[in-house]
Amino acid sequence: MERRLAAILAADVVGYSRLMRSDEAGTLAALKSCESGLIEPVVARNNGRIVKRMGDGFLVEFGSAVDAVECALAWQGISNAAEGTPIRFRIGVNLGDIIFQDDDIYGDGVNVAARLEGLADAGGICIASVVHDQVRRKVEATFTDLGDQALKNIDEPVRVFSWSRDDGAAESAEKITAPTETEPSMLLVVPFRALGADPTAETLSEALTENISVAMSHFDEMSILDPGAVPADADVKSGRELGQRLGVLFLLEGRVQAAGDKVRVSAQIVEVETGQRKWSDSFDREVGDVFALQDDLTAIVASTVGEALISLVSEALDRKPESAWTARDFVMRGTTHLHRVDREQTLLAREYFEKALAREPQSPLAIICDCWTYAFEVMFGWPRSRDDGVDYAIARIRELLTRSERHSQAHRLMGRLLHIKDEHSAALNYTERAFELNPYDSDMLIAHGHSLLCTGQGARAVELAERAVRINPYAPEFYGLTLAQAYLLVGRLEDALSVLNKLSRPVGASQHARVMCLAMLDRLDEARAGFEAIAAERPGLSVEIFRKTLPFEDGPEVDEILTALKRAGVPGKAGGQHGVDGQRKAGIEDIAT
């Protein structure tokens, strides 16, 4: 069990039983259409998470009371303006302590939200006074004070404020919070299928369908259609028909095959519009603990598909005029350039992010990606677009996190920015939160592992770095460097050397780490040869400079490494034109994010 403070939105359909008696099929179809066309997009746009659906009801969690109320206003503004549908909602919003367990939420905070929803008018909203205190002067809507209200099964009266479609605020709320553009979901997960009669494959296929959908929903950059919208017997053909009807861009479908103690999961992404297979991969694992296997396979597929999907969404934009691109489209295209880690490509990426912000100034993902471009300039020693780039990015991310705390990418970036400023303990708090918000993303694991490394927590750093490498078959080189440095910190020298020897581009900090490992193993001739090879390209190399490429803090482990370097003949102080700063810059490309 985990306790946390959250804003909770409870909603249900007005007169649902009457509507079902009148037209069951029509009501279900209208509610499903409303769910995919209104509720899911408006919840996602306001940084919420649909915790569960209860027939005609919805329970949604937010990290911010402002996000919750803006979502409620947009929800009702659009719903009340819709023509030709009988579906109308009542909504209640509360802010309180909740219990989080098994991906569900419980407690008085949830119960009060449900009671507030029951007080609301048709098409209206009721909020608790604690919510009103948080959103006053932050949302442009008028709430009427209803005074203290006795709520069923709630011990103390609750002061309630209401918003109604008839109080003159509906038009204002709709203008401010209703989306200006409708963006399709990126992905629909078709039920995975078991090949053969092995019960392990059957069990895994059922679990992976749900688990992968849940895992993908943790990625800030992804928009995933709820698996509840997909029939259990759907296949690629029927899934594509459903995707076309709901406007989804891509399908993910997979197969699970078991043989003895081995399992193979094959996955592919199909473009809904053309029916073409755009990506495929397969992953082999030993069975072992079935639950651990489910977790591993879920994370492997989610991390791999997430990366592939960004590229596929960007490629699909070539068939669409730029004038019709949404803010998300500009972000997806910019991200593909940002991932190339090149000065000119980064500047081009920033142009796309700025276009996204022109369309949607408060787009969290556009803000985060734009700030990464300033971090890259410092990390790689490129010419800076502004002298205060790091402080500028920190200020923007902090402001974003005050509006919504639940962006894993924002926490990850803040951790990197604080590491640049050598504020390692503060950075650790942010990367830990990033990992909590998305434990399925290998980038979050390696970022938190790096922070643990910087603060001397080698054993835990090894654990996370090993998992990051395990769940990302296409892990960048800096994953290997982080893992090797973690091994070095805990004294697993042969393991560190093995990882470093497998790197395809052993430059900078990874070369330094290899020399350190050889020196610590008393393979002094090899260590000396490695040092001389680096020094030939970078004159002035010294123990002092080697120390600068180690991310962890001073301690006995560091003293042992530096002593071993001196035994291998590395001079103690920097000299020549390539001083400490130059050598540090030369190595930092290996730890780029």
Tell me, letter by letter, the H, E, C secondary structure of 362-398: CCHHHHHHHHHHHHHHHHCCCCCCCCCHHHHHHHHHH
Looking at the fold, whether 34 and 18 belong to one and the same domain comes out as yes
d(CA 353, CA 230): 33
Higher pLDDT, 537 or 162: 162
Looking at the fold, whether 110 and 201 belong to one and the same domain comes out as no
Closest to 549 measured CA to CA, from 508, 500, 521: 508
Looking at the fold, whether 132 and 22 belong to one and the same domain comes out as yes
C-beta separation of 177 from 77 below 8 A = yes
d(CA 467, CA 465): 5
Residue 82 pLDDT: 66
Residue 82 domain flag: yes
The stretch 520-540 carries a mean pLDDT of 91
Pairing of strands 104-106, 125-128: unpaired
Residue 453 domain flag: no
Residues 292-348: tens digit of each pLDDT: 888 888 888 888 888 888 889 889 888 889 888 989 899 999 999 998 888 999 999
Looking at the fold, whether 262 and 368 belong to one and the same domain comes out as no
Q: How many angstroms separate the Cα of 333 from the Cα of each of 307, 328, 338, 356?
A: 13, 9, 9, 10
Looking at the fold, whether 307 and 248 belong to one and the same domain comes out as yes
- Whether 161 has a pLDDT exceeding 70, the answer reads yes
Residues 54-86: tens digit of each pLDDT: 778 899 998 889 999 999 998 988 777 666 677
Looking at the fold, whether 510 and 578 belong to one and the same domain comes out as yes
Residue 180, token pair as written in the block: 């200006």
The stretch 530-559 carries a mean pLDDT of 88
Give SS3 for 168. Answer: coil
Residue 75, token pair as written in the block: 């929800």
How many domains does the chain contain in total? 4
DSSP symbol at 224: B
**Of the residues 372, 404, 436, which one is the last residue of a structural domain?**
404
- Whether 541 has a pLDDT exceeding 70, the answer reads yes
Residue 5, token pair as written in the block: 């403070």
Give me the DSSP letters along 544-574. HHHHHT--SPSSHHHHHHHHHHHHTT--SS-
C-beta separation of 581 from 542 below 8 A = no
Residue 465 domain flag: no
Looking at the fold, whether 36 and 150 belong to one and the same domain comes out as yes
Looking at the fold, whether 104 and 246 belong to one and the same domain comes out as no
CATH number of the domain that residue 312 is part of = 3.40.50.10070
What share of residues in the chain are helix, strand, coil (percent, to 5)?
A: 55, 15, 30
Looking at the fold, whether 307 and 337 belong to one and the same domain comes out as no
Closest to 422 measured CA to CA, from 542, 548, 306, 322: 548
d(CA 294, CA 290): 6
d(CA 85, CA 208): 35
Say which amino acid occupies 504: S
Residues 226-270: tens digit of each pLDDT: 565 667 777 788 888 888 877 788 999 999 998 888 899 999 999
Q: Which of 153-157, 471-475, 477-481 has the lowest mean pLDDT?
A: 153-157
C-beta separation of 248 from 188 below 8 A = yes
C-beta separation of 174 from 163 below 8 A = no
Confidence of residue 166 (pLDDT cuts 50, 70, 90): low
Residue 440 domain flag: no
- Whether 416 has a pLDDT exceeding 90, the answer reads yes
Looking at the fold, whether 378 and 505 belong to one and the same domain comes out as no
Q: How many angstroms separate the Cα of 302 from the Cα of each of 287, 308, 311, 378, 442?
A: 19, 10, 15, 30, 9
Percent of the chain with pLDDT over 90: 39
Residue 460 domain flag: no
Residue 238 pLDDT: 83
| Residues of the domain holding 333 | 323-404
d(CA 452, CA 456): 6
Residues 370-408: tens digit of each pLDDT: 999 999 999 888 999 999 999 999 999 999 998 878 789
Residue 579 domain flag: yes
Looking at the fold, whether 295 and 378 belong to one and the same domain comes out as no
Residue 418 domain flag: no
- Whether 589 has a pLDDT exceeding 50, the answer reads no
The stretch 456-482 carries a mean pLDDT of 91
**Of the residues 404, 429, 447, which one is the last residue of a structural domain?**
404
Residue 84 pLDDT: 66
How far is Cα of residue 289 from the mean position of the Cα atoms in its chain?
27
User: pTM to 2 decimals?
Assistant: 0.66
Rounded to 10 deg, the angle between the 290-316 and 327-338 helix axes is 110
Residue 574 pLDDT: 57
Residue 366 pLDDT: 94
The stretch 27-34 carries a mean pLDDT of 84
Looking at the fold, whether 152 and 11 belong to one and the same domain comes out as yes
CATH number of the domain that residue 124 is part of = 3.30.70.1230
Confidence of residue 103 (pLDDT cuts 50, 70, 90): low
**CB environment 252-266: b (16+ within 10 A), e (fewer):** bbbbbbbeeeebebb
d(CA 35, CA 93): 19
Residue 577 pLDDT: 41
- Whether 225 has a pLDDT exceeding 70, the answer reads no
- Whether 508 has a pLDDT exceeding 60, the answer reads yes
Residue 468 domain flag: no
- Whether 53 has a pLDDT exceeding 50, the answer reads yes
Confidence of residue 22 (pLDDT cuts 50, 70, 90): confident
The stretch 467-484 carries a mean pLDDT of 89
Residue 4, token pair as written in the block: 């946390």
Q: State phi, psi for 482 to the nearest 5 degrees.
A: -60, -45
Residue 282 pLDDT: 92
**Of the residues 290, 317, 344, which one is the last residue of a structural domain?**
317
The stretch 158-167 carries a mean pLDDT of 79
C-beta separation of 588 from 380 below 8 A = yes
Give me the DSSP letters along 257-320. EEETTEEEEEEEEEETTT--EEEEEEEEEE-SSHHHHHHHHHHHHHHHHHHHHHHHHHHHGGGS
